[in-house]
């Protein structure tokens, strides 16, 4: 009886109208999903856009929140004087200039990254209500970073008067513990210095050299050349032998070992430990260009990096048409190759962390005025840059650099270390070189990873390795 | 105190909206208006609470109690309109009446917040339009000659649009309106209804190739005039309405595919030929790189607004929707999303969708093809315009600059939409008449059959053979008959 009743109704339905009804309904469902998704995922990005007037509105309503170090030291705060004028204070002045950044005349560093949280207030309603009564602003949310004041101080002091960059990270979590770029500046003075800073193109004070400085990687790039050689010859790379006579020539192009050294008979491990340019140029000549190009892409050269702050794009020019001369240059990290200290640190971290790269980050969590967490950023993996076995092999090579190679100043300490030095030649004057070191400690279970570059200092083993030692010492002293 | 009110009210609004939209769809559980009565009553209550509490918040935020007077006028007009519709036409579709009032009150609230002068103007125009809308069902009911005026609709439509193209005022690069004695008209709004009537009167008897072709010529003329006036939104609406009405009238999928294929081709050519079309598409693909130009600036400001409100919105007067150019007309949805929240804004969309489904339900039951096509065409016009304005303002599709019916500021738009709703409401009455007539006929047939059967039984004794078709028809009639007895 009921069943029959339904056939009556169905007779009256119009299939075409039903189709159109469903078509529009589905279209609207998709659109609603899109709107909800878009608005929620773009909330922060859009509020930071300088065309968005809502920032001003929020700042008129809330006092910019504080920025803290991992151990609770104030790195930035806004104070209001008796006349109601607001001033942003940076208690450590120059020390955190690039990483914490500034918030007037544009924004930079954590001040830029976490701007959305700093200008919003999640203070409890009761507090807001009582502030309303007194006609005061609401406190913006506070941002806690992963930065360690002590390591930052050691890094800054160690770099001294040199220009350069240091980044210290935890390879297991991707947390950035210290980030120093020199020359630095005092963010409190940014407004008065602004015009000078903008005019001064030479020293590029405002550039964060860790994330945006593009340097020739020099011998540190041999890590990547070695990885490619291992990938191409997984079973036989240990059988590699080469007689180093101090130089290698292909046509008109000639590659020499650093400071004219002659390494004699070397195997793969020793080529790496002694940083033998001639041997690595020889290895470079044997590499498959297509496969090398893929490896470079997998190490994020010329790619987007999984970080939420601005960065420079590292690049290596290898393609099918790369000439032999250029291949020799590439494999020792010279020529047109350029890399940011950040990227080298990420690759080193992946080696230390069994091949998996953790996304680097420096904002740990956000708290409201009464200490409730508003937002927490947990460590997250970007993915694998290399297999566990490859990471293990590279780690072995880097350990030998410390044991019997160019970084022996890190040998025989209370902790074990591994790394790779570099002395990257730049400019036209022969002998001018940036001192590089990238490495980690302890070898058994790496928990701190450092990458150092000192501009124009000389050999990495002489200048960069001692700084690494001071950082490791400071880390294990705590 | 004020802070608690504004914080608390955000959640109350979202909740009221949720309940209201729930009822909008709960309606479809029942086939008979009688059984939906409870739902309609609850909706009216929710609407009242929403409207009143919104104005209470406005008073709190502005510190000006006189807004309550404005509210009182609105409440009286909306209440009177709803009551009069039901009194004059007891069988009118009340979901449409409720939704109409709800959307108008949302529009009043957000317009009052954006620009009080415009809100007052809108209120006066809406009041006048409601009076016009009230008499429409009566006309629909009585004037069956409306079916025979197809050339009148076509010529009047094209003439009205062409006049604007030649004499019209330019707003934001498009020629949309002209003024008579200080009152600005936007004829493309009214022509949308005329176009639906034209299509219905041309296709209701037959949708053979000849009719499809002649209507195509007229539709193309409408679209072409609109494209030349740079009113791309209206051009698209005419096109979609044409294709879908032909599809429903002919019941032929070929026309649907051919229509979309031809439309894509035309869109491609328009993109190549007209720079104003190219600008719209570029501003949709990457508004950020065009943020300094007019096209990119509007859409990015709209996106800022939508993204800053979050689920529950910033609260009335807490955001800065006035930073969006022409927010009261083309981007009112973004203002709602910013201050009343994404959940509320989605509720607004759902109210519109439920109204559309009701239009389609009215259309699908009609035996009279003319009325069916009218209900269908108006429904499509309505929902597609909403799709264009909301999709355009949220970067879902390229921006075309049309209004959000009943909410956006604009007299022509409000009047047109109210007329559309009351036509559909009136069609429901005609449909019920039709159904009753059919029932009567069935009853008669049923009785006649019964008699025949009895006669047969008494005469010859059993072994009567029914063929399958007759049997089911008989059963169907019997079911309906039984139902009515109950």
Confidence label for B169 from pLDDT (cuts 50, 70 and 90): low
More confident residue, A176 or B475: A176
Q: Which of B320, B357, B390 sits opposite A31 (nearest CB)?
A: B390
DSSP A256: E
Give the DSSP H/E element, type plus range, for residue B73: helix B67-88
Q: Which of A21, A31, A57 sits opposite B320 (nearest CB)?
A: A57
Mean pLDDT (whole number) for A246-264? 83
Distance from CA of B426 to the nearest CA of A (A): 19
Q: pLDDT averaged over chain B? A: 86
Angle formed by the axes of helices B369-393 and B342-364, to 10°?
A: 160
Distance from CA of A167 to the nearest CA of B (A): 33
Interface of B with A in 228-287 (CB under 8 A): 244, 247-248, 251
Chain B residues within 8 A of A14 when measuring between CB atoms: 248, 363-364, 372
Q: Which of A28, A133, A375 to mutate to test the interface with B (most CBs of B within 10 A)?
A: A28
Residue A249 contacts B, CB cutoff 8 Å: no
Q: Do B248 and A31 touch (CB under 8 A)?
A: no
Answer yes or no: is pLDDT of B51 > 90: yes
Answer yes or no: is pLDDT of B183 > 80: no
Chain B residues within 8 A of A7 when measuring between CB atoms: 472, 476
pLDDT of residue B360: 94
Q: Each residue of B404-413: pLDDT tens digit?
A: 999 999 888 9
Q: Do B320 and A46 touch (CB under 8 A)?
A: no
Residue B116 contacts A, CB cutoff 8 Å: no
Q: Each residue of A261-284: pLDDT tens digit?
A: 888 899 999 999 988 989 999 999
CA gap A102, A174 in Å, rounded: 24
Answer yes or no: is pLDDT of B163 > 90: no
Q: Do B394 and A34 touch (CB under 8 A)?
A: yes
Interface of A with B in 108-137 (CB under 8 A): 125, 128-129, 132
Ordered by start, the domain boundaries in chain A are 218-361+382-477
CA gap B179, A8 in Å, rounded: 53
Q: Each residue of B238-295: pLDDT tens digit?
A: 999 999 999 999 888 999 999 999 989 988 998 898 888 888 888 888 888 877 776 7
Q: What distance, in Å, lies between the first and last C-alpha atoms of chain A?
A: 84
pLDDT of residue B439: 85
| Residue matched to tokens 């004028």 | A85
Q: What strands, in cross-sheet order, belong to the sheet with A142-145?
A: A86-89, A74-80, A67-68, A142-145, A363-367, A373-376
Of A121-130, A175-184, B174-183, where does mean pLDDT reach its minimum?
Answer: B174-183
pLDDT of residue A49: 79
Q: Alpha-carbon torsion A111, A114, A115, A117, what sign?
A: negative
**Percent residues over pLDDT 70 in chain B:** 90
**Contact assessment for residue A216 and residue A425, using Cβ atoms and an 8 Å cutoff:** yes
Confidence label for B459 from pLDDT (cuts 50, 70 and 90): low
Q: Which of A43, A53, A125 sits opposite B7 (nearest CB)?
A: A125
Q: Each residue of A304-356: pLDDT tens digit?
A: 999 988 899 999 988 888 888 889 989 998 888 999 999 999 999 999 999 99
Chain A residues within 8 A of B479 when measuring between CB atoms: 1, 4-5, 8
pTM over 0.90: no
More confident residue, A46 or A305: A305
Answer yes or no: is pLDDT of B164 > 80: no
3-class SS shares of chain B: helix, strand, coil, % to 5: 80, 5, 20
Distance from CA of A75 to the nearest CA of B (A): 28
**Contact assessment for residue A47 and residue A116, using Cβ atoms and an 8 Å cutoff:** yes
Chain A residues within 8 A of B240 when measuring between CB atoms: none
More confident residue, B57 or A254: B57
Of A66-75, A429-438, B285-294, B451-460, where does mean pLDDT reach its minimum?
Answer: B451-460
> Considering only alpha carbons, which residue of chain A is nearest residue B304?
A46
pLDDT of residue B113: 94
| Residue matched to tokens 């960069």 | A464
Nearest to A61 by CA among B339, B114, B9, B320: B320
What are the distances in angstroms from CA A458 to CA A106, A435, B75?
Answer: 36, 5, 82
Answer yes or no: is pLDDT of B368 > 60: yes
Q: How many helices (H) and strands (E) does chain A have?
A: 18, 19
Chain A and chain B share a number of CB contacts under 8 A equal to: 130
pLDDT of residue A125: 85
Integer-rounded Cα Rg, in Å, for chain B is 25
Top-ranked range on mean pLDDT: pick from A59-73, B177-191, B375-389? B375-389
Q: Do B387 and A27 touch (CB under 8 A)?
A: yes
Mean pLDDT (whole number) for B62-73? 91
Q: Do A12 and B364 touch (CB under 8 A)?
A: yes
pLDDT of residue B33: 79
**Percent residues over pLDDT 90 in chain B:** 44
Q: What are phi and psi of A250, to 5 degrees?
A: -130, 110
Chain B residues within 8 A of A121 when measuring between CB atoms: none
Q: Which of A28, A39, A57 sits opposite B349 (nearest CB)?
A: A28
Q: Do A25 and B353 touch (CB under 8 A)?
A: yes
Answer yes or no: is pLDDT of B471 > 90: no
pLDDT of residue A300: 94
Residue A403's CB is within 10 A of a number of other CB atoms, namely: 17
- CB neighbours of A360 closer than 8 A, spacing ≥ 6? A169, A174, A175, A176, A306, A307, A342, A345, A346, A349
Chain A residues within 8 A of B340 when measuring between CB atoms: none
Residue A57 contacts B, CB cutoff 8 Å: yes
Residues in chain A: 478
Mean pLDDT (whole number) for B140-161? 81
Nearest to A148 by CA among A128, A168, A166: A168
Confidence label for B467 from pLDDT (cuts 50, 70 and 90): low
Q: Do A36 and B251 touch (CB under 8 A)?
A: no
Residue A52 contacts B, CB cutoff 8 Å: yes
- CB neighbours of B35 closer than 8 A, spacing ≥ 6? none
Answer yes or no: is pLDDT of B181 > 70: no
Top-ranked range on mean pLDDT: pick from A317-326, A393-402, B151-160? A393-402
**Contact assessment for residue A28 and residue B353, using Cβ atoms and an 8 Å cutoff:** yes
CATH superfamily for A218-361+382-477 is DD-peptidase/beta-lactamase superfamily (3.40.710.10)
Q: Do B395 and A38 touch (CB under 8 A)?
A: yes
pLDDT of residue B435: 81
More confident residue, B484 or B30: B30
Residue B306 contacts A, CB cutoff 8 Å: yes
Residue B387 contacts A, CB cutoff 8 Å: yes
pLDDT of residue B207: 79
Q: Which of A17, A25, A39 sits opposite B376 (nearest CB)?
A: A17
Residue A3 contacts B, CB cutoff 8 Å: no
Chain B residues within 8 A of A18 when measuring between CB atoms: 360, 364
Distance from CA of B71 to the nearest CA of A (A): 28
Answer yes or no: is pLDDT of A252 > 90: no
DSSP A267: E
Chain A residues within 8 A of B394 when measuring between CB atoms: 31, 34-35, 38
pLDDT of residue B162: 82
Q: Do A31 and B391 touch (CB under 8 A)?
A: yes
Q: Burial letters for B154-168: b for 16+ Cβ neighbours within 10 Å, e otherwise?
A: bebbbebbbebbeeb
Confidence label for B184 from pLDDT (cuts 50, 70 and 90): low
**Contact assessment for residue A386 and residue A350, using Cβ atoms and an 8 Å cutoff:** yes
CA gap A317, A339 in Å, rounded: 12
| Residue matched to tokens 């025979």 | B148
Q: Do B364 and A54 touch (CB under 8 A)?
A: no
CA gap B169, B171 in Å, rounded: 6
Nearest to A164 by CA among A470, A463, A429, A476: A463
Confidence label for B98 from pLDDT (cuts 50, 70 and 90): very high
SS3 B262: helix
Mean pLDDT (whole number) for B455-478? 58
Distance from CA of A404 to the nearest CA of B (A): 54
User: Token pair of A468, please?
Assistant: 């690494």
Chain B residues within 8 A of A32 when measuring between CB atoms: 346, 349-350
Answer yes or no: is pLDDT of A145 > 90: yes
SS3 A250: strand
Chain B residues within 8 A of A5 when measuring between CB atoms: 479, 483
Top-ranked range on mean pLDDT: pick from A41-45, A317-321, B22-26? B22-26
Residue A8 contacts B, CB cutoff 8 Å: yes
More confident residue, B110 or B295: B110
Distance from CA of A55 to the nearest CA of B (A): 10
Residue A372 contacts B, CB cutoff 8 Å: no
pLDDT of residue A8: 43
Pairing, β A138-139 against β A62-63: parallel
pLDDT of residue B178: 62
Triad A465, A469, A470: Cα angle to 5°: 120
Confidence label for B461 from pLDDT (cuts 50, 70 and 90): low
* Widest Cα–Cα separation across chain B: 91
Residue A38 contacts B, CB cutoff 8 Å: yes
Q: What are phi and psi of A384, to 5 degrees?
A: -90, 130
pLDDT of residue B356: 96
Ordered by start, the domain boundaries in chain B are 437-485
Residue A198 contacts B, CB cutoff 8 Å: no
Q: Do B308 and A34 touch (CB under 8 A)?
A: no
Q: Do A36 and B346 touch (CB under 8 A)?
A: yes
pLDDT of residue A82: 82
**Contact assessment for residue B295 and residue B279, using Cβ atoms and an 8 Å cutoff:** yes
Chain A residues within 8 A of B476 when measuring between CB atoms: 4, 7-8, 11
């Amino acid at each position: 009886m009921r069943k029959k009743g339904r056939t009556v109704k169905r007779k009256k339905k119009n299939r075409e109208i039903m189709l159109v009804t469903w078509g529009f309904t589905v279209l609207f469902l998709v659109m609603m999903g899109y709107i909800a998704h878009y608005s929620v995922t773009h909330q922060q990005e859009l509020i930071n856009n300088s065309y968005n007037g809502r920032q001003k509105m929020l700042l008129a309503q809330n006092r910019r929140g504080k920025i803290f170090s991992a151990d609770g030291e104030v790195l930035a705060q806004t104070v209001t004087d008796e006349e109601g004028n607001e001033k942003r204070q940076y208690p450590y002045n120059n020390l955190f200039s690039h990483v914490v950044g500034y918030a007037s005349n544009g924004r930079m560093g954590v001040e830029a990254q976490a701007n959305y949280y700093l200008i919003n207030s999640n203070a409890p309603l009761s507090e807001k209500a009582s502030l309303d009564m007194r006609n005061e602003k609401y406190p913006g949310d506070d941002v806690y970073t992963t930065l360690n004041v002590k390591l930052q101080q050691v890094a800054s002091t160690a770099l001294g008067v040199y220009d350069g960059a240091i980044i210290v990270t935890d390879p297991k979590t991707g947390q950035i513990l210290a980030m120093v770029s020199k020359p630095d500046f005092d963010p409190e003075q940014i407004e008065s210095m602004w015009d000078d800073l903008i005019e001064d193109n030479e020293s590029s004070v405002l550039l964060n050299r860790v994330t945006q400085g593009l340097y020739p990687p020099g011998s540190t790039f041999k890590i990547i050349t070695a990885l490619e050689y291992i990938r191409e010859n997984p079973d036989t790379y240990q059988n590699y032998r080469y007689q180093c006579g101090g130089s290698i020539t292909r046509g008109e192009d000639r590659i020499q070992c650093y400071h004219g050294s002659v390494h004699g008979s070397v195997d793969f491990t020793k080529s790496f430990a002694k940083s033998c340019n001639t041997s690595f140029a020889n290895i470079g000549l044997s590499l498959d260009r297509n496969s090398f190009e893929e490896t470079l892409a997998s190490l994020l050269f010329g790619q987007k990096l999984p970080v939420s702050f601005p960065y420079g794009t590292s690049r290596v020019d290898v393609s099918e048409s790369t000439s032999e001369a250029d291949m020799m240059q590439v494999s020792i990290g010279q020529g047109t190759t350029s890399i940011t200290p950040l990227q080298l640190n990420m690759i080193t971290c992946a080696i230390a962390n069994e091949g998996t790269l953790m996304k680097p980050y420096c904002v740990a969590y956000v708290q409201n005025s009464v200490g409730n967490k508003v937002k927490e950023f947990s460590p997250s993996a970007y993915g694998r840059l290399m297999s566990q076995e490859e990471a293990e092999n590279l780690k072995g090579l880097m350990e030998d650099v410390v044991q019997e190679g160019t970084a022996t100043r890190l040998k025989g300490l209370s902790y074990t270390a591994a790394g790779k030095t570099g002395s990257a030649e730049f400019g036209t004057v022969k002998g001018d070189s940036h001192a590089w070191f990238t490495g980690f400690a302890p070898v058994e279970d790496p928990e701190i990873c450092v990458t150092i570059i000192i501009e124009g200092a000389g050999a990495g083993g002489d200048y960069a390795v001692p700084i690494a030692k001071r950082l490791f010492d400071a880390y294990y002293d705590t | 105190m004020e802070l608690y009110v504004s914080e608390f009210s955000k959640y109350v609004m979202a909740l009221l909206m949720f309940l209201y939209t729930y009822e909008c769809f709960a309606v479809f559980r029942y086939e008979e208006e009688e059984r939906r009565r409870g739902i309609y009553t609850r909706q009216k209550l929710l609407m009242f609470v929403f409207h009143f509490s919104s104005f209470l918040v406005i008073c709190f935020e502005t510190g000006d109690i006189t807004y309550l007077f404005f509210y009182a006028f609105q409440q009286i007009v909306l209440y009177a309109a709803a009551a009069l519709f039901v009194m004059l036409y007891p069988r009118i579709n009340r979901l449409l009446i409720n939704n109409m009032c709800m959307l108008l009150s949302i529009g009043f609230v957000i317009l009052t917040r954006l620009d009080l002068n415009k809100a007052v103007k809108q209120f006066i125009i809406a009041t006048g339009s409601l009076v016009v809308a009230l008499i429409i069902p009566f006309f629909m009911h009585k004037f069956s000659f409306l079916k025979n005026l197809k050339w009148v609709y076509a010529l009047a439509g094209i003439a009205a649009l062409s006049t604007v193209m030649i004499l019209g005022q330019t707003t934001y690069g498009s020629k949309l309106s002209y003024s008579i004695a200080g009152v600005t008209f936007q004829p493309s709004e009214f022509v949308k209804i005329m176009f639906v009537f034209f299509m219905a009167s041309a296709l209701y008897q037959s949708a053979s190739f000849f009719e499809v072709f002649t209507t195509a010529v007229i539709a193309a003329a409408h679209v072409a005039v609109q494209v030349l006036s740079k009113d791309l939104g209206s051009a698209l609406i005419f096109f979609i309405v044409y294709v879908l009405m032909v599809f429903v009238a002919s019941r032929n999928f070929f026309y649907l595919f051919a229509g979309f294929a031809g439309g894509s081709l035309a869109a491609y050519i328009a993109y190549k030929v007209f720079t104003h079309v190219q600008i719209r598409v570029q501003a949709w693909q990457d508004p950020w790189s065009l943020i300094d130009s007019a096209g990119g600036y509007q859409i990015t400001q709209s996106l800022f607004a939508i993204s800053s409100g979050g689920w529950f919105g910033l609260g009335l007067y807490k955001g800065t929707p006035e930073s969006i150019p022409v927010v009261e007309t083309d981007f009112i949805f973004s203002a709602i999303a910013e201050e009343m929240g994404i959940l509320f804004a989605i509720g607004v969309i759902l109210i519109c969708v439920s109204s559309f489904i009701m239009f389609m339900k009215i259309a699908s039951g009609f035996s009279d093809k003319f009325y069916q096509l009218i209900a269908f065409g108006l429904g499509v016009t309505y929902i597609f315009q909403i799709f264009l304005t909301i999709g355009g303002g949220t970067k879902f599709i390229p921006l075309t600059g049309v209004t959000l019916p009943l909410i956006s500021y604009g007299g022509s738009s409000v009047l047109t939409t109210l007329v559309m709703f009351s036509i559909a409401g009136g069609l429901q009455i005609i449909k019920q008449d039709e159904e009753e007539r059919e029932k009567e006929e069935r009853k008669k047939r049923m009785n006649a059959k019964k008699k025949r059967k009895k006669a047969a039984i008494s005469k010859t004794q059993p072994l009567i053979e029914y063929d399958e078709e007759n049997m089911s028809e008989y059963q169907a009639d019997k079911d309906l008959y039984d139902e009515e007895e109950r």
